[in-house]
């Protein structure tokens, strides 16, 4: 059985992985087949086009690999839902957008599998903290 040589974490737009940088420069030295990775990743993420997805790639000593696709970053989901280009440069001191409780719950439900909590209410608190630090206000 092949042994794990290294684990690599990347954030790649869904369905748009190419052997060019940043994918090629990170995975090339690991010795895996770049085209094979790009094809498998793009096929697996085709339904989430437009999202940026973190991926954790496990490289084996025989140059084979496996990967796990995570949920999009919380900040990305907040910006997408609130229709923002970027968060506040001054943190919570400058309000740049608003989210409703329903939108907050929707983001928390998406992020729940990757967060260190068990209920949607706990996940909502984590997402609300990220939103506040981005300058996004939570309204009822």
DSSP per-residue codes, 89-120? TTGGGS--EEEEHHHHHHHHHHHGGGSS-SSH
Residue 92: what pLDDT?
76
The pLDDT of residue 1: 67
**pLDDT higher than threshold 90 for residue 50:** no
User: Is 81 strand, coil or helix?
Assistant: helix
Domain ranges of the chain: 4-69, 74-139
Residue range 74-139 forms a domain whose CATH class is mainly alpha
CA dihedral sign of residues 98, 103, 105, 109: negative
Task: Give the pLDDT band (50/70/90) at residue 16.
Answer: confident
- Distance (Å, rounded) from C-alpha 135 to C-alpha 130? 9
Mean pLDDT of the chain: 89
CATH-assigned architecture of domain 4-69: 2-Layer Sandwich (3.30)
Per DSSP, 85 falls in state: S
């Amino acid at each position: 059985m092949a042994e794990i040589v290294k684990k690599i974490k990347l954030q790649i737009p869904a369905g748009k992985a190419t052997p060019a940088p940043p994918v090629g420069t990170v995975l090339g030295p690991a010795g895996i087949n770049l085209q094979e990775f790009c094809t498998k990743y793009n096929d697996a993420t085709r339904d989430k086009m437009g999202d940026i997805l973190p991926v954790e790639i496990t490289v084996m000593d025989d140059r084979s690999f496996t990967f796990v696709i995570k949920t999009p970053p919380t900040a990305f989901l907040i910006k997408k839902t609130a229709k923002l280009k970027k968060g506040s440069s001054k943190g919570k001191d400058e309000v740049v957008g608003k989210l409703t409780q329903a939108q907050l719950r929707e983001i928390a439900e998406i992020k729940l599998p990757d967060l260190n909590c068990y209920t949607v209410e706990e996940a909502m608190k984590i997402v609300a903290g990220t939103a506040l630090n981005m300058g996004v206000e939570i309204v009822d």
